[in-house]
Amino acid sequence: MGWEPVRRTRAFEDVIAQIERRIAEDGLVVGDRLPGERQLAEQLRVGRSSVREALRVLETLGVVASQAGRGPDAGAVLTARPAAALADLLRLHVGLSSLSMREVAETRMMIEQWAVRHAAGNVTPGHLDRLRAALARMDRAGSADEFVLHDAEFHLTIAELSGNRLLAATMHALRATVQRHAVEAVERLGVTDPLMDDHRRIYEAIASGDAEEAAAAIADHLTRAYPDLRDPADPTGPADAPDSAGTPGPADAPDSAG
């Protein structure tokens, strides 16, 4: 067997690695402030979206806390020193690229049905704003890649809303693999209108606090995007999807009340 080309990292992974290195080399301690988003983007020569995504991952892992403000008050605040789990997360992110579409779909079905049930009971006005903004950007998307970029933002917000940081971090780690398969799914469907209808249904269920409807909407959405999940005996329903009684998930994770 011959050697294969080395896979390039995504920009936000490099941003995370640089932030982690600077924390270690500069001796930053809890309470110290990182440069603002614009300043980091200019210094690292990447888009602000890459910096924003890197900070969201670090915030999910409890390494930084976002801080609104301008001038000296801008920038995230260090809340914990990066642990080995951060490096493990990045390795997971890179290592999942060889998964099959069915493996990705089954994993998403298990994770996202659990997440959306808890998101429906844990919703905040800020998260609803983010979900609506992602919907609007999906609606204006001019290509499958652009649509899926904002689709990922929608689903990652739901994962964060679940209240389980490990689940949200896992979804961030899955992002590249999910995006690759999602683009294929959009291109296969040829239109995005049915997917937009699915997303609006998911949003409405979360906004109204209807956990079971939200889980059913996620199941129907993923089954539309990934036909391999359909039961051959029932081509209209996602029989392979775990039901509410048997959904694997972090059973001991904090629920919406805790």
Q: What's the mean pLDDT in 79-86? A: 62
Q: Where are the alpha helices (DSSP H) in the chain?
A: 11-25, 37-44, 48-60, 84-95, 101-120, 125-140, 144-161, 165-189, 193-208, 211-225
240 compared with 47, residue with greater pLDDT: 47
pLDDT at residue 244 greater than cutoff 60: no
Single out the residue in 62, 85, 108 at which a domain terminates.
85
- What is the spatial distance between Cα 133 and Cα 65, in angstroms, rounded to a whole number? 22
Residue 196 is assigned to a structural domain of this protein:
yes
Residue 249 is assigned to a structural domain of this protein:
no
Query: Quick check: 159 and 111 in contact, CB under 8 A?
Result: yes
pLDDT at residue 113 greater than cutoff 90: yes
Cα 14 to chain center, whole Å? 18
- Asked if 213 and 163 sit in the same domain, the reply is yes
Task: Give the tens place of pLDDT for each residue, 160-215.
Answer: 888 887 788 778 777 766 777 788 888 888 888 999 999 999 999 999 999 999 99
SS3 of 139-193: the string is: HHCCCHHHHHHHHHHHHHHHHHHCCCHHHHHHHHHHHHHHHHHHHHHHHHHCCCH
Residue 200 is assigned to a structural domain of this protein:
yes
Which pair of tokens denotes residue 11? 């920009």
pLDDT at residue 44 greater than cutoff 70: yes
- What is the spatial distance between Cα 213 and Cα 191, in angstroms, rounded to a whole number? 24
pLDDT category at 255 given cuts 50, 70, 90 is: very low
pLDDT for residue 98: 65
Percent of the chain with pLDDT over 70: 73
- Asked if 216 and 120 sit in the same domain, the reply is yes
- What is the spatial distance between Cα 220 and Cα 216, in angstroms, rounded to a whole number? 6
pLDDT for residue 213: 97
Residue 256 is assigned to a structural domain of this protein:
no
Q: What's the mean pLDDT in 96-119? A: 84
Residue 181 is assigned to a structural domain of this protein:
yes
- What is the spatial distance between Cα 243 and Cα 118, in angstroms, rounded to a whole number? 15
46: how many CB neighbours lie within 10 A of its CB? 17
pLDDT for residue 188: 83
- Asked if 48 and 119 sit in the same domain, the reply is no
58-67 LR contacts (CB < 8 Å, sep 24+): 58/16, 58/19, 58/82, 58/86, 60/160, 60/165, 60/168, 60/169, 60/172, 61/85, 61/86, 61/89, 61/165, 61/169, 62/165, 64/34, 67/33
- What is the spatial distance between Cα 231 and Cα 13, in angstroms, rounded to a whole number? 37
Query: Quick check: 158 and 114 in contact, CB under 8 A?
Result: no
Q: Note the pTM of the prediction, 2 decimals.
A: 0.61
- Asked if 65 and 106 sit in the same domain, the reply is no
- Domain range for 197 is 100-229
- Asked if 119 and 35 sit in the same domain, the reply is no
